[in-house]
Amino acid sequence: MATNILMPALSPTMEEGTLAKWLVKEGDSVSSGDIIAEIETDKATMEFEAVDDGVIGRILVPEGTEGVKVNTPIAVLLEEGEEAGSTPDAAPEAAEAPATVPADATPTVPASAAPEATVPPMEEIPAGTSSKTQTVREALRDAMAEEMRASDDVFLMGEEVAQYQGAYKVSQGLLDEFGERRVIDTPITEHGFTGIAVGAAFAGLRPIVEFMTFNFAMQAMDQIINSAAKTRYMSGGQMNCPIVFRGPNGAAARVAAQHSQDYAAWYAHVPGLKVVQPYSAADAKGLLKSAIRDPNPVIFLENEILYGRSFEVPELDDFTVPIGRARIWREGSDVTIVSFGIGMTHALEAAEELAGEGISAEVIDLRSLRPIDYDTVLASVRKTNRCVTVEEGWPVASIGNHLSATIMQQAFDWLDAPVINVTGKDVPMPYAANLEKLALVTTAEVIEAVKSVTYRAGGL
Amino acid sequence: MAARKTSGNKAARKQPAPDVSPNISRDELIEFYRQMLLIRRFEEKAGQLYGMGVIGGFCHLYIGQEAVVVGLEATAKDGDQRVTSYRDHGHMLACGMDPKGVMAELAGRETGYSRGKGGSMHMFSKEKNFYGGHGIVAAQVPIGAGLAFADKYRGNDNVSFTYFGDGAANQGQVYETFNMASLWKLPVIFVIENNKYAMGTAMQRSTSTPDIYHRGNAFGIPGEAVDGMDVLAVKEAGEKAVAHCRAGNGPYILEMQTYRYRGHSMSDPAKYRSREEVQKVREEKDPIDHVRDLLIGGKHASEDELKAIDKEIKATVNEAAKFAQSSPEPQEAELWTDVIA
């Protein structure tokens, strides 16, 4: 049967090209793989190979023709022994347009119309539950130990997590209890061990990867984003990557630019990840347990300065905190202060001080940055009509920017003042003590911003 | 795969066929022929569908390299795992994935392995332990070691076939992985498919020492160079590597010296090498012609038998193409699914 040879698409973007030269003439026999023509695309001159055996019956487009559209018949290929005058059957099967769903059958979904996210229910702490005072550090260790006791698939790997007992002592005691099969010291090789952990997660294990700090996770960024976050989608839901990446994030003290950076906004940007950044010890414990059980890759951002802070942690056999649910720390009526992680320190201090001046601030700890609990934030803003966001990270494309946009779109009519984002300064972290202080977010800046949105004297 | 299948066929035969060589039976060699031909014809069809605009974006063909995956798959057992780069169609077909599902994915259809959301470079099969399909050069190397890590953690004797190219062999994460794989004695076979060109850069212009299989020396990983155009040599080397890994001796490197006939991707005019160079390899080293010559020359198969196989493969590939083109594109609601479990 005669078939049409069609003008090929020879690059991802080619729509038409020039048929520069025929290397065969009518009547020539060709085999699969023989070069039959040269075709100029917008990028290069490409050789075009026969894809089947046969005889060139007719050349339909002479050489030198410009602007030949992709899929235009350019020659007729005959089977051996076929008449030169044969013509292909109408519309060769292969050239059929792809089957598409008619537009009227399925209404087009605008790009922004993502399905509504459902906010998970708040954690429940039964009345009368006792609590104990614990540091964030201890709470994190307990969370890992409890989950490792519960499942042999859970293991911890990272630099200095085993024999050294953790560079920041978060994994203290875990080697003794679980042994070196499950608490694994790695070489200093973030890109490599992150990839190995991702492969282990693909195979169904539940790795906890400790980065000594998240600054070093930049070495592993490709594995975190391209391998861990995207594979479920790229596989049409076949693959899972149940893995936790955890470690201290943000500024410590006097460690300068390369060791002082808040990655909250970076990771929150990426679909396929979950991102949490706890403030209190209870949330650190409950969220880490949830993160380890989660079937998705979870970025768990800790803070060195918070490791030693003590909080009350509920004494429950299995205390978890849902990922994606904010917590209202302090109710108020005049302004909503939204923060997370160490930013909460400034938010709460500011609220306390403002209360003394007669300003009632509602303080929300986001706890999760992907998914974000928009409902809690919006409900609060609709009540207080004012909002200040607080974070340690840089101002451009910050979490605060994103919240401001969301509030503008969904609570514009409730706003009595523009939202203010209080952030770290737009500079690499300086070393000098006085300059470092200037670069970081301060409680005073939060107070000033609140006064500005509430139009009180002393505001911006 | 092939080995298991062949031994089953052999048991059912009335008269045992003469073996071609000590470790290859006639039936197995025919199966190699069939599998390599399936990959070649499938890739030719993919190239054709690309030209027609049915397949878009990046599409990297495996033509010329068929003996590597076919020979190595003959050494695998159930439970073994494989992972590779974006030049992945051959690996998927060789491990038994359905040509229809692969072609449909190339065409971006809902019946594809990734429901149309992965494309040529990103396909997976949990059933066949095929872990992708990775688009970032060398990213699959630590992932393959991670699959082996899981095997070691669980205490089984599976191995992980981790394929990458001569170009990827210059990425830093390969050496990070070599170090840990050797340190932790992970059962991973690093298969370096040296096809001589990293996109358009010839190996001698990118690689400081010519013998890539030596690159495990610094980490105590044994390695050897193998004629990757000879499926029998591939199988023999594979058996040795697999035995090493299964015995708990840690990783092994196989540098498969092979050649890709087509450009790096579909839009590569391949001006960095001469047409004569390609032609010479095709004429002198073609892996499929090699097996065909063994079968015909040794009178293990007749021309008619091989023609029947050709016909059968052509039908399989045409069926896959037809299936792909007649399958619908994904529903629009699929845009939002599978982001998060």
| Same domain as A140, residue A77 | no
The question of whether A259 is a catalytic residue gets the answer yes
Token digits of residue A94: 């292969």
| Same domain as A337, residue A277 | no
Give A95's pLDDT tier (boundaries 50, 70, 90): very low
Instruction: Determine what percent of chain B is predicted with pLDDT higher than 90.
Output: 88
Last residue of a domain, one of A291, A314, A337: A314
Name the amino acid, one letter, at A204.
Answer: G
Neighbours of A133 (CB within 10 A): 10
User: Got the DSSP string for B98-122?
Assistant: -HHHHHHHHTT-TTSTTTTSS-TT-
Inter-chain contact B340–A272, Cβ cutoff 8 Å?
Answer: yes
Give the closest-approach CA distance of B154 to chain A in angstroms.
9
B328 touches chain A (CB under 8 A): yes
Inter-chain contact B336–A115, Cβ cutoff 8 Å?
Answer: yes
B324 to chain A: nearest residue by CA? Answer: A98
Window 65-84 of B: residues touching A by CB (8 A cutoff) are: 81, 83
Give B17's pLDDT tier (boundaries 50, 70, 90): low
**Residues in chain A closer than 8 A to B326 (CB atoms):** 99
B277 touches chain A (CB under 8 A): no
Euclidean distance between CA atoms B281 and B284, whole angstroms: 5
Residue B319 resides in a domain:
no
pLDDT of A458 reads 67
Give A459's pLDDT tier (boundaries 50, 70, 90): low
A39 to chain B: nearest residue by CA? Answer: B269
A240 to chain B: nearest residue by CA? Answer: B341
B14 touches chain A (CB under 8 A): no
**Residues in chain B closer than 8 A to A223 (CB atoms):** 139, 142-143
| Residue B279 belongs to domain spanning | 24-313
**Residues in chain B closer than 8 A to A45 (CB atoms):** 269
pLDDT at B14 over 50: no
Inter-chain contact A114–B336, Cβ cutoff 8 Å?
Answer: yes
Which CATH number does the domain housing residue A385 bear?
A: 3.40.50.920
The partner residue sitting opposite B118, judged by closest CB among A93, A101, A235, is A235
pLDDT of A84 reads 63
The partner residue sitting opposite A234, judged by closest CB among B114, B153, B322, is B114
Euclidean distance between CA atoms A22 and A47, whole angstroms: 10
More confident residue, B277 or B11: B277
How many helices (H) and strands (E) chain A has is answered by 13, 22
Residue B334 resides in a domain:
no
The partner residue sitting opposite B269, judged by closest CB among A46, A70, A155, is A46
Q: CB neighbours of B213 closer than 8 A, spacing ≥ 6?
A: B192, B223, B224, B225, B253, B254, B255
Count of domains for chain A: 3
**Residues in chain B closer than 8 A to A272 (CB atoms):** 339-340
Could you read off the pLDDT of A379-404 as tens digits, one per residue?
999 999 999 999 999 999 999 999 99
- Percent helix, strand, coil in chain B, to 5, is 50, 10, 40
Name the amino acid, one letter, at B128.
Answer: K
Residue A100 resides in a domain:
no
Inter-chain contact A234–B56, Cβ cutoff 8 Å?
Answer: no
The partner residue sitting opposite B143, judged by closest CB among A198, A234, A274, is A198
Least confident of A40-54, A101-115, A246-260, B61-75: A101-115
- Are the beta carbons of B141 and B164 closer than 8 angstroms? yes
ipTM over 0.90: yes
Residue B333 resides in a domain:
no
- A190, A210, A304, A448: the catalytic one is A190
The partner residue sitting opposite A233, judged by closest CB among B117, B146, B329, is B117
| Same domain as A299, residue A158 | yes
| Residue A285 belongs to domain spanning | 131-314
Which CATH number does the domain housing residue B104 bear?
A: 3.40.50.970
| Same domain as A205, residue A159 | yes
pLDDT at A91 over 50: no
Query: How many angstroms from the chain centroid is the CA of residue A292?
Result: 17
pLDDT at A110 over 70: no
User: Which residue in the block uniquely carries the two structure tokens 């975190």?
Assistant: A224
Bridge partner residues of B84 (DSSP) = B133
pLDDT of A88 reads 62
| Same domain as A349, residue A255 | no
User: Which residue in the block uniquely carries the two structure tokens 């010559």?
Assistant: B293
Give the closest-approach CA distance of B6 to chain A in angstroms.
29
Token digits of residue A113: 């119309």
A220 to chain B: nearest residue by CA? Answer: B173
pLDDT of A85 reads 61
| Same domain as A343, residue A309 | no
Euclidean distance between CA atoms B41 and B34, whole angstroms: 10
Euclidean distance between CA atoms B190 and B186, whole angstroms: 11
Last residue of a domain, one of A292, A314, A336: A314
B150 touches chain A (CB under 8 A): yes
Euclidean distance between CA atoms B117 and B103, whole angstroms: 13
pLDDT of A89 reads 54
The partner residue sitting opposite B146, judged by closest CB among A46, A108, A196, is A196
More confident residue, A151 or A52: A151
Euclidean distance between CA atoms A307 and A304, whole angstroms: 5
Inter-chain contact B149–A200, Cβ cutoff 8 Å?
Answer: yes
Could you read off the pLDDT of A334-377 as tens digits, one per residue?
999 999 999 999 999 999 999 999 999 999 999 999 999 999 99
Inter-chain contact A189–B58, Cβ cutoff 8 Å?
Answer: no
| Same domain as A354, residue A286 | no
Between A and B, how many residue pairs show a Cβ–Cβ distance under 8 A? Answer: 225
pLDDT of B18 reads 57
Inter-chain contact A236–B338, Cβ cutoff 8 Å?
Answer: yes
Residue B18 resides in a domain:
no
Strands (E), A94-165: 131-135, 154-158
Give A97's pLDDT tier (boundaries 50, 70, 90): very low
* Average model confidence (pLDDT) across chain B: 93
Name the amino acid, one letter, at A70.
Answer: V
Q: Give the pairing type, strands A244-248 and A298-302.
A: parallel
Could you read off the pLDDT of A258-297 as tens digits, one per residue?
999 999 999 999 999 999 999 999 999 999 999 999 999 9
Give the closest-approach CA distance of B53 to chain A in angstroms.
6
**Residues in chain B closer than 8 A to A115 (CB atoms):** 336
| Same domain as A152, residue A204 | yes
The partner residue sitting opposite B332, judged by closest CB among A106, A200, A231, is A106
Tell me the average pLDDT across B78-82: 98
Inter-chain contact B145–A196, Cβ cutoff 8 Å?
Answer: yes
Give A207's pLDDT tier (boundaries 50, 70, 90): very high
| Same domain as A166, residue A141 | yes
Give the closest-approach CA distance of B139 to chain A in angstroms.
7
User: For residue A369, which of A428, A301, A319 has the smallest C-alpha distance?
Assistant: A301
Count of domains for chain B: 1
Give the closest-approach CA distance of B269 to chain A in angstroms.
5
Least confident of A6-10, A118-122, B2-6, B125-129: B2-6
- A160, A259, A349, A436: the catalytic one is A259
The partner residue sitting opposite B143, judged by closest CB among A187, A204, A227, is A227
Inter-chain contact B113–A238, Cβ cutoff 8 Å?
Answer: yes
pLDDT of B96 reads 97
| Same domain as A198, residue A79 | no
Could you read off the pLDDT of B171-211 as tens digits, one per residue?
999 999 999 999 999 999 999 999 999 999 999 999 999 89
Residue A101 resides in a domain:
no
Residue B285 resides in a domain:
yes
A15 to chain B: nearest residue by CA? Answer: B53
Euclidean distance between CA atoms A460 and A450, whole angstroms: 9
More confident residue, A421 or A11: A421
Residue A65 resides in a domain:
yes
Could you read off the pLDDT of A239-268 as tens digits, one per residue?
999 999 999 999 999 999 999 999 999 999
Tell me the average pLDDT across B244-250: 98
Give B28's pLDDT tier (boundaries 50, 70, 90): very high
Query: What is the C-alpha end-to-end distance of chain A, expressed in Å?
Result: 81
pLDDT of A114 reads 72
pLDDT at A100 over 50: no
Give the closest-approach CA distance of A237 to chain B in angstroms.
5
Give the closest-approach CA distance of A111 to chain B in angstroms.
9
A370 to chain B: nearest residue by CA? Answer: B340
The partner residue sitting opposite B332, judged by closest CB among A93, A108, A187, is A108
pTM of the model: 0.89
Residue B318 resides in a domain:
no
Residue B14 resides in a domain:
no
**Residues in chain A closer than 8 A to B135 (CB atoms):** 226
B146 touches chain A (CB under 8 A): yes
pLDDT at A40 over 90: no
**Residues in chain A closer than 8 A to B282 (CB atoms):** 33
Token digits of residue B152: 């070691």
Instruction: Please report which residue ranges of A80-135 form alpha helices under DSSP H.
Output: none
Most B CBs within 10 Å, among A21, A74, A209, A234, to test the B interface = A234
pLDDT at A449 over 90: yes
Inter-chain contact B126–A194, Cβ cutoff 8 Å?
Answer: no
Residue B74 resides in a domain:
yes
User: For residue A370, which of A271, A222, A224 has the smallest C-alpha distance?
Assistant: A271
Q: Give the pairing type, strands B81-84 and B160-165.
A: parallel
| Same domain as A73, residue A51 | yes
B142 touches chain A (CB under 8 A): yes
User: For residue A197, which of A260, A155, A237, A139 has the smallest C-alpha distance?
Assistant: A155
Which CATH number does the domain housing residue A40 bear?
A: 2.40.50.100
| Same domain as A179, residue A42 | no
The question of whether A190 is a catalytic residue gets the answer yes
Inter-chain contact B131–A199, Cβ cutoff 8 Å?
Answer: yes
